Amino acid sequence: MSAQMAGVTRKPIAKLRSMGGGWLEKVCLGLLVLFVLVALFAPWLSPQDPTYGELGTGLVGPGADHWLGTDQGGHDTFSALIEGSRTSLAGPLLVVLVSTVAGIAIGLFAAWRGGWVDTVLGRLLDVVFAFPALLVAILAVAVFGKGMTAPVIAMSVAYMPYTARLVRGLAMQEQARPYIAAYRVQGHSALYVAVRRLLPNIGPTVLAQSSVNFGYALLDLAALSFLGLGVQAPTPDWGAMINQSQAAVLRGQPLSAVVPAVAVVVVVVAFNIVGENVGDRLAGRKT
Amino acid sequence: MALLEYENLSIALPGTARPVLDGIDLTVSAGEVVALVGESGSGKSVTARSALGLFPTGAHVDGHVRVDGTEVVGAGPAALRAIRTGTASMIFQDPRAGINPVRRIGDFLTEALRVSNGWSKGRADDRAVELLGAVGLPDPERHLRQYPYELSGGMLQRVMIAAALTAGPRLLLCDEPTTALDVSTQAEIMAILGRLQRERDLGMLLITHDIELAAAVCDRIYVMYAGRIVETAPTAQLFGAPRHPYTAGLLGSSPPLRAPAGPPARLTPIPGSPMGLLDSAPGCSFAARCRSARPGVCDRTPPPLEGHGTALVACHLAESLTATDNTATGEGT
Amino acid sequence: MTVDDHARTLLQVCGLRKAYRTGKTEVVAVDDLSFSLRAGGALGIVGESGSGKTTTARMLIGLERPDAGQILVQGEPLAPTVRGRAARLARAKAVQIVFQDPYLSLDGRITVGATIDGALRLHGLADPAARTARTRELLAQVGLGEREAAALPRKLSGGQRQRAAIARALAVEPAVLVLDEAVSALDVSVQAQVLNLLSDIRRDTGIGLVFVSHDLAVVRYVCDEALVLYRGRTMEHRPVAELLSDPGHPYTQLLLASVPRPDWDPDSISRRRRELGPAAAGGGA
């Protein structure tokens, strides 16, 4: 009985269904699930080794051997797309994880302490806001060298203020509600009330923002790879694939660039639509 | 002819278990002050808004509402505009929600006159000053230049009353006009409304949850429960000898201000909660909370309002309860 | 309970003061407020908006720090700031509160049962079975059953939520319970139920009630004494019956006259309100 009383019974599927949404959102959600599954099982799904280039079969069109053709170096585009989904999705995932956790911590702290702490943190966030994410990432690469690590760290920092601002605003609003005061009056510690009671009440809205951030982070990281500053060959990556296909595009064979570009666009748009819709709905429900 | 007349008005919303309004019959004559009393979810605000053609979106509306003889149900935009800008005005509960916070009081008051009536700024300002004076604001010229945040809730409600009067209406619909205000401010607002009503011979419909307030200022009271009018009577009679068990329950729920010394007598509240739109009952919607309810009788749809003396009551048991509970009886026609 | 227990003073407030500063101007919300409350007693704090009644409630529960004065609960001064778990729990046991808005005063994410369970666990009831039993008992005391215990707040009516908020406060077993306009957002028929519930709780528990309200009739029903606040100052502090039958201060007289009734004369109330002073006539700031 106590477990029943204490716990909220949740059936995940039913809950998901109750979230509703239009057909567009459902399609987007389906696409995202598909991409995540592909990334998880990439080594078993890709028909060929995307790092193996056959010089004789460069820029072959789509066919039975190569479903989406090959690039200039004879790498199989379909396999590269599948294997590339791992790095292309893992990078933004890390960025979103780090920036969300840091943003929540800073936003919550600023809202809870208020006063000068809030003012100082607010100004610091403004400063970070002033630097475009891509610029910070390029600077980081210049200092720490090429690869994934430096851009991911730099972009985590650059994306953090978006979450921190949102969390601060939501927390301020939520804090004014008497149920939070009631928890304090009952004798719960400030940390407990802020993290265990207030945060879950604003969590869904924050997650919606994070999923929108994911799309932008993916775009930024792909751009870095395209510039040759991110993921390095031979590791497959969508941004890097576009970069390597530049010459092919100039020769009128754009397929090996179009395929990863479409993948980037589809994932970014899908994340935006799902994130915005969930956020809108939660915002509507809150009032 | 009645100034405001509801005839069997029903409003249904998709996805609800019961109609929002179920066969409302109500009249307000010129110069008459009538109260419509009910708890949350009773449909009293929906009733008032219907008079201006403000029906809930997606609602199915049946029956008639006539303002000064003009049918509102199914009326076109032009007819509705004529009612809203000429015959009837409405005052709402929260004065701050109805005024643009970044515009001056003067602009707010004169906009309609200048845009709809094509008055010059000077003429409209003169009229606004006159109206602000009429609602008892001490310094009308200064208030015209002020912003809403500079005024207290009570003063702002007076501005809203002034705004409601700009078009010279004959019917005033007041939806909980004092609920958001302090008690002594409430008295002041009601004094102003009362004076204006007498001076201009306005018909007034006061929507309120406070049956004591209704009794204090109105000639006649309608009591509403779950979308139906359950009783209407002249104020003194309704207060002295309530016929419907719900009316009696409401009166028994209010703690008396003056009572004999010693520990106060226990209140006899109505059990349960007011009915939501997602609840429905097969017969009388009040039966589940009614102490007098009889099985086999109250699970049928209650009768329409029937005359019992000067009161109209919609209750299966009106006759039998009257005999035991009330003194000032008179057999109905 | 012995006679001594009855006479015991639960709450003593001396010279309480709180002012807010905006720029150069200082607004005194509460000034030189003193009262005491014995076990089982009920004090009404009556006032309109801006009277300082809510600030007083917030100082009593420690959400607002007084500028001057002292609050003693069972002889112990309430510290202006609490540090550490033991101090927090002790403070919670001194004073609890029920807020006005039933829709915002419960955590929408967890069930009513879980809310009370959490309060009990915090205050040292470790055994889950004992907690369940106590939760059931507390909810029964306020007239809620198993169905309401398992429900999220949004599934409950306003009256049921307010009952749950009262049960949550009682779970801590405080010496004093502050009710900040706790019945004013409820429908009349439901308000009467909660008022009866409060007088039952008073009778059964010996808890001290501080009942903050603008409604004189409700204060009369719940309290034995009432204190009238106007712009932060105490106008009158007397037994309720006396205060209502023979109000001494003009402001109390005005408040009393303002309550609507059949022979009501709002015109004379407006006139008296003006005579009281320009601030009252303007409806306060």
Domain ranges of chain B: 4-218, 225-253+267-325
**In sequence order, what DSSP letters do the residues of C46-103 get, joined into one string?**
E--TTSSHHHHHHHHTTSS--SEEEEEETTEEPPSS--SHHHHHHHHHHEEEE-S-TT
What range defines the domain where residue A46 resides?
Answer: 23-52+63-286
A75, A63 in Cβ contact below 8 A? Answer: no
Cβ-Cβ contacts under 8 Å, C48 against chain B: 182-185
With 60 as the cut, is the pLDDT of residue B326 above it? no
Unique residue bearing structure tokens 């889950």: C128
C184 touches chain A (CB under 8 A): no
A157, A135 in Cβ contact below 8 A? Answer: no
- Is A135 part of any domain? yes
Report, as an integer, the average pLDDT of A51-75: 73
Distance, CA of C201 to CA of C222 (rounded, Å): 11
Is the ipTM higher than 0.95? The answer is no
Split into its structural domains, chain A has a count of 1
C280 touches chain B (CB under 8 A): yes
Using the beta-carbon criterion (under 8 Å), do C192 and B270 form an inter-chain contact?
A: yes
B175, B48 in Cβ contact below 8 A? Answer: yes
pLDDT at A94: 94
Question: Where are the domains positioned within chain C?
Answer: 3-109+175-246, 248-285
Percentage of residues in chain A with pLDDT exceeding 70? 88
Report, as an integer, the average pLDDT of B55-64: 93
Closest to C192 measured CA to CA, from B244, B224, B229, B264 = B264
B4-218 folds as Rossmann fold (3.40.50)
Cross-chain CB nearest to C188 (options B192, B215, B250): B250
Distance, CA of B129 to CA of B106 (rounded, Å): 9
Per-residue pLDDT tens digits for B135-156: 988 889 999 999 999 998 889 9
Report, as an integer, the average pLDDT of A199-206: 90
**In sequence order, what DSSP letters do the residues of C135-179 get, joined into one string?**
HHHHHHHTT--HHHHTS-GGGS-HHHHHHHHHHHHHHT--SEEEE
With 80 as the cut, is the pLDDT of residue C98 above it? yes
Q: How many helices (H) and strands (E) does chain B have?
A: 11, 12
Instruction: Tell me if there are at least 3 CB pairs under 8 Å linking chains A and B.
Output: no
With 80 as the cut, is the pLDDT of residue A69 above it? no
C222, C209 in Cβ contact below 8 A? Answer: yes
Lowest mean pLDDT among A195-199, A256-260, B53-57, C133-137: A256-260
Q: Which pLDDT band holds residue A165 (cuts at 50, 70, 90)?
A: very high
Task: Give the three-class secondary structure for C121.
Answer: helix
With 70 as the cut, is the pLDDT of residue C2 above it? no
Distance, CA of B53 to CA of A208 (rounded, Å): 39
C188 touches chain B (CB under 8 A): yes
Name chain A's partners: 3 or more CB pairs within 8 A. Answer: C
CATH, residue A47: 1.10.3720.10
Using the beta-carbon criterion (under 8 Å), do C261 and B216 form an inter-chain contact?
A: yes
3-state secondary structure A70-124: ECCCCCEHHHHHHHHHHHHHHHHHHHHHHHHHHHHHHHHHHHHHCHHHHHHHHHH
B191, C264 in Cβ contact below 8 A? Answer: no
Per-residue pLDDT tens digits for B216-260: 999 999 999 999 999 999 999 998 889 999 999 999 898 888 766
pLDDT at C283: 40
pLDDT at A81: 87
Per-residue pLDDT tens digits for C35-94: 999 999 999 999 998 899 999 999 999 999 999 999 999 988 987 778 889 999 999 999
Chain C nearest-CA distance from B264, in A, is 6
pLDDT at C178: 97
Task: Tell me how far the alpha carbon of residue C22 is from its chain's centroid.
Answer: 27
Cross-chain CB nearest to C266 (options B194, B215, B267): B194
- What are the structure tokens assigned to C103, written together? 């829709």
| A65 or C256: which leads in pLDDT | C256
Measuring CA to CA, how many Å separate A82 from each of A34, A38, B117?
11, 7, 70
Q: Which pLDDT band holds residue C142 (cuts at 50, 70, 90)?
A: very high
Other CB atoms within a 10 A radius of the CB of residue B160 amount to 24
Residue B286 amino acid letter: F
| C283 or A151: which leads in pLDDT | A151
With 70 as the cut, is the pLDDT of residue B215 above it? yes
Query: How high is the mean pLDDT of chain B?
Result: 88
Q: CATH homologous superfamily for C3-109+175-246?
A: P-loop containing nucleotide triphosphate hydrolases (3.40.50.300)
pLDDT at B261: 59
pTM score > 0.90 for this model? no
Backbone angles phi, psi at C28, to 5 degrees: -85, 115
